[in-house]
Amino acid sequence: MKTSTTLPAAPTPTAADLKITEITITPIAFSDPPLLNAVGVHEPLVHRVIIEVRTANGLLGLGECAGGQSRLENLAVGANAIKGLGVFDTSVMEQLITGALDPSLSSFEKAAVFSAFEVAALDIQGHATGRTVSELLGGTVRDEVPFSAYLFYKWAEHPALDGKPAITDEWGEALDPAGLVRQAQKMIGEYGFKSIKLKGGVFPPAQEIEAIKALREAFPKLPLRLDPNTAWTVETSQWVARETDGLLEYLEDPTPGLEGMGEVAAAASMPLATNMCVVAFDHIKRSVELDSVQVILGDHHYWGGLRHTRELGTLCQTFGIGLSMHSNSHLGISLAAMVHVAAATPALTYACDTHYPWNGHNDVVKPGALRFVDGSVRVPTGTGLGVELDRDKLAELHQQYLDAKMTARDDTGYMQRFMPEYTADLPRW
Ligand SMILES: O=C([O-])C(=O)C[C@H](O)[C@@H](O)C(=O)[O-]
Ligand SMILES: [Mg+2]
């Protein structure tokens, strides 16, 4: 006779099991091409930080954030403040971290420090419950998250410097419209992106308008965005908006400040977007009053983690503002977190930014969980973030950080090594 056996259910971890017992903060450095922007050029190495949080029962959660000497000091303060806390207590975690950090720090920095630990805590919550992070955020409203092709003007190589040879890359030079179209063809060919963002603010605006027109001709169906990172005055921005009428999905941060953006928005036919003048909840009220921006680029690294990013979506819906997503040079832990929150945020109305095509070959997570298909990343199905740390790669990138003796990102200083007269005074045109 056949008897059915019921397997004993896995024991639910107790509150004591899920207390944070150990936190490891590992600074890393990974290679980056010479990408140009309004304040200089990317250095050969990006400085970033990997966070590992462990609980009493041995669960591991991962976080990733931008680096820098002061960020490392602030992360150490944050880590110290949350030892012994339960991983489900992320509201208390925010209070403890915010309260422990130097009161003179900006709310932006405090939110950034908390975010790295919140992501790791959510990763553990997922492992403890057998759920994905997006499920913990309310479940997925989309199974695949669309990203845009993030184009940059770029040099062919990092020039030889301090006795070190030049560093070439697979992307080649892009200093004119033809170079950018080639870059877009390669990136879209490999990743299948369905929209395009050009990082501008590098050349006089007339040249960047020509680049947008060349991209429109080469990719007639793909939405285009242009982001000069406040390199233009209000008047120049209004002129560019007229010249690009009908060409842009949105124009991102043409000019500094909420007032200036409001003046440009009043004259522009396309929506204005930002990741520079609305970067915290307390900027939204004034922005709405002035109708400065019609799209906000959220970023969990700066908006205080994944839950607050989802809340930003709710606020955007309330005020009829679109939601897109910002990125900085990043690896797979950040990408996984971006995908989970984007999948769980109904208000997300635009394809997200990502630097992954520029940096993903350096990844500290094992391959497999994150893949771009037709420009989108399917939400990882493993528990938590659904990504696993590659410890050999982590050790290699940490050694690279130690050897490079990096302190902070310095696009302007690096540019000045080749053009001593260069300044990053904006607006420039
Ligand atoms: O949308 C943006 O402003 C960015 O992506 C900021 C980045 O720092 C970008 O300018 C870069 O990588 O040079
Ligand atoms: Mg931007």
| Domain count within the chain | 2
CA of 358 to the centre of ligand 1 (A): 12
Q: Is 301 in the pocket of ligand 1 (CB under 6 A)?
A: no
Q: State the Cα–Cα distance between residues 184 and 152, nearest whole angstrom.
A: 9
Q: Is 359 in the pocket of ligand 1 (CB under 6 A)?
A: no
228 upstream amide cis, omega within 30 of 0: no
Residue 418 included in any domain: no
Instruction: Give yes or no: residues 289 and 375 share one domain.
Output: yes
Distances (CA, A) of 263 to 255, 274, 295, 319: 10, 14, 16, 19
CA of 331 to the centre of ligand 1 (A): 15
pLDDT of residue 12: 84
CA of 302 to the centre of ligand 2 (A): 13
Instruction: Give yes or no: residues 187 and 334 share one domain.
Output: yes
User: Which residues participate in catalysis according to the annotation?
Assistant: 199, 326
Q: Residue 98 sits in a domain of what CATH number?
A: 3.30.390.10
Can you give the three-state secondary structure of 248-305, one letter per residue?
A: CCEEECCCCCHHHHHHHHHHCCCCEEECCCCCCHHHHHHHHHHCCCCEEEECCCCCCH
Instruction: Give yes or no: residues 99 and 203 share one domain.
Output: no
Choice from 35, 37, 152, 410 to test ligand 1 binding pocket (greatest atom count within 8 A of CB): 37
pLDDT of residue 1: 45
- Phi/psi at 339 (5° precision): -65, -45
Instruction: Give yes or no: residues 269 and 379 share one domain.
Output: yes
Q: Is 274 in the pocket of ligand 1 (CB under 6 A)?
A: no
Nearest CA to ligand 1 atom 8: 328
148, 207, 221, 220: which is closest to 179 by C-alpha?
A: 207
148 neighbors 353 (Cβ within 8 angstroms): yes
State pTM to two decimals.
0.96
Instruction: Give yes or no: residues 35 and 178 share one domain.
Output: no
9 neighbors 129 (Cβ within 8 angstroms): no
Residue 390 included in any domain: no
Cβ count near 203 (within 10 Å): 17
Q: Is 148 in the pocket of ligand 1 (CB under 6 A)?
A: no
Cβ count near 17 (within 10 Å): 16
Instruction: Give yes or no: residues 316 and 345 share one domain.
Output: yes
Q: Which residue has the tokens 């307390």?
A: 282
Choice from 153, 227, 272, 409 to test ligand 1 binding pocket (greatest atom count within 8 A of CB): 227
Q: Which residue has the tokens 């950040």?
A: 334
Nearest CA to ligand 1 atom 7: 328
Provide CB contacts within 8 A for 22, sequence distance 6+.
Answer: 52, 53, 54
Q: State the Cα–Cα distance between residues 171 and 157, nearest whole angstrom.
A: 9
Domain holding 149, by residue range, is: 135-385
Instruction: Give yes or no: residues 189 and 232 share one domain.
Output: yes
How is residue 101 written in tokens? 């950090």
Residue 416 included in any domain: no
41, 93, 33, 40: which is closest to 63 by C-alpha?
A: 93
Distances (CA, A) of 261 to 236, 286, 291, 348, 405: 12, 12, 8, 22, 39
Q: Quick one: CA dihedral 394, 400, 402, 407, positive or negative?
A: negative
Q: Is 127 in the pocket of ligand 1 (CB under 6 A)?
A: no
Which residue numbers in the chain have pLDDT < 50? Answer: 1-2
Residue 205 included in any domain: yes
Q: State the Cα–Cα distance between residues 53 and 19, nearest whole angstrom.
A: 10
CA of 117 to the centre of ligand 1 (A): 23
Instruction: Give yes or no: residues 120 and 151 share one domain.
Output: no
Q: State the Cα–Cα distance between residues 101 and 109, nearest whole angstrom.
A: 9
Instruction: Give yes or no: residues 167 and 185 share one domain.
Output: yes
Q: Is 74 in the pocket of ligand 1 (CB under 6 A)?
A: no
Distances (CA, A) of 257 to 232, 236, 253, 427: 12, 15, 9, 11
Q: State the Cα–Cα distance between residues 79 and 76, nearest whole angstrom.
A: 5
Residue 423 included in any domain: no
Q: State the Cα–Cα distance between residues 259 and 287, nearest whole angstrom.
A: 8
Q: Residue 374 sits in a domain of what CATH number?
A: 3.20.20.120
Residue 76 included in any domain: yes
Q: State the Cα–Cα distance between residues 22 and 56, nearest whole angstrom.
A: 8
24 neighbors 162 (Cβ within 8 angstroms): no
Query: Which residue type occupies 17?
Result: D
pLDDT of residue 414: 98
The interface predicted TM-score of the complex, written ipTM, equals 0.99
Instruction: Give yes or no: residues 100 and 198 share one domain.
Output: no
318, 271, 276: which is closest to 295 by C-alpha?
A: 271
Instruction: Give yes or no: residues 187 and 330 share one domain.
Output: yes
